[in-house]
Amino acid sequence: MKELRVKLGAARSHLTTALESLGLSLPILGLFAALAIIPAFVSDQYVLTLMISCLLFGAQAMAFDFTAGFINVVNFGFSGLVGLGAYTSALLVLKLGVDPWFGLIGATVAAALAGLIIGLLTLRLSGIFAALMAWFAGLTLLSVATVLVDLTRGMLGLNVPLFLDTAARRPYYYILLPIAIGVYIVVRVIANSDVGLACRAIGQNLDMARASGVQPKKYRVVNFTVSSAIAGLLGGYYAHYLGILTPNVMATSHTIEVLVLAYIGGRGSIWGGLVAAFLIIPIFEYLKPLMEIRLVLYGAFLVVATILYPQGLAGLVEALRAWIRRPDETGDQEQVNLSLK
């Protein structure tokens, strides 16, 4: 019996080590398992479409949080990079006959290159100046997509080939789920590496990080490029999932939605934005008749959440875990006191 316990303990230790190397934990595995199992029992196409929206925006929030939560730069041009990935994949398929699955690779590379260029030009600035420059870059991409009517058809919209020849939503959900899981793993692995440590140091105190030997511009550009690449990948998926593409995909309002999810989820948590998406997107979906007033509600919701609990959902979860552990710690301390007596 003792040998069995030892073996089980060793197996558990190896499993934990393997999961940590991928940036995973048992609660996160439980979350992904739930996201994989629940849609299998959902037959309503509207609900499945809503779940796809939650997963898509949640994955974008994770990529956005990698920049906002680590190097403390708010990328207001994020939706422009998503749109760039979408148009790149769509045009590769329509003009060159590339398979949509390979179009995702082109979308990722194009957005990564754009992110690298934007990062080199803007990230020598800091704070609001870097955010504004990123926003101007996003507006430029929006203007280009609108003006190049011969290539993009402008506001008329581009008809994009779909991944699958089916109207069912469940297959598209299970295409997106591995992508979202991959996004989390990539971001978490980088966050746990020396690069992630340097990014956190830069986000917390730029001058102190520089004094410690960290090269801020280098790590900020790397961070921004990775986030942009993920935005392009998700944009490519969006193009071949929806089938119709207009420059509206690059609108700043979409960046605001992603920003709200990332901040309410908890900056620097990565997973918080994904959870926030499944909590908030359904609520605002029912507020669609309010049109642009929804953006005001998004802003108000963000302000209230930031004032009442600036740590977001991730901070709330950590506080709850600490509260649950407290009785055990108190009991242990009482035992120690009794033994000392």
Q: How far is CA 329 from the centre of its chain?
A: 35
**Greater pLDDT, 218 or 333:** 218
- Asked whether residue 227 carries a pLDDT value surpassing 90, the answer given is yes
pLDDT attached to residue 15: 65
* Residue whose C-alpha is closest to residue 76's, from 252, 261, 306, 299: 252
pLDDT category, 64, cuts 50, 70, 90?
very high
Residue 272 lies in a domain: yes
Chain segment 176-200, per-residue pLDDT in tens: 999 999 999 999 999 999 999 999 9
pLDDT category, 324, cuts 50, 70, 90?
confident
Chain segment 258-310, per-residue pLDDT in tens: 998 999 988 888 999 999 999 989 888 877 776 667 777 777 777 877 777 77
Residue 316 lies in a domain: no
- Asked whether residue 9 carries a pLDDT value surpassing 80, the answer given is no
Token pair of 90 as six digits: 């769509």
Chain segment 100-149, per-residue pLDDT in tens: 999 999 999 999 999 999 999 888 877 788 888 899 999 999 999 999 99
pLDDT attached to residue 325: 76
Residue 290 lies in a domain: yes
Count of alpha carbons within 13 Å of 164, Cβ hemisphere only? 11
Determine if the pTM surpasses 0.75. yes
For every residue of 88-141, DSSP letters joined together read HHHHHHHHH---HHHHHHHHHHHHHHHHHHHHHHHTTS-THHHHHHHHHHHHHH
Residue 15 lies in a domain: no
pLDDT attached to residue 338: 40
Q: Please name the amino acid found at residue 21.
A: S
Average pLDDT over residues 55-70: 94
Residue 219 lies in a domain: yes
Chain segment 148-176, per-residue pLDDT in tens: 998 999 888 899 999 988 888 999 999 99
Mean pLDDT score of the chain: 86
- Cα-Cα-Cα-Cα dihedral sign, residues 136, 270, 89, 117: positive
Residue 35 lies in a domain: no
pLDDT attached to residue 340: 36
Token pair of 195 as six digits: 């690069």
Token pair of 49 as six digits: 């479409």
Residue 269 lies in a domain: yes
Give the least confident one: 25-34, 39-48, 269-278, 301-310.
301-310
Domain containing 52 equals 41-310
Q: Give the domain CATH number at 246.
A: 1.10.3470
Domains: count for the chain: 1
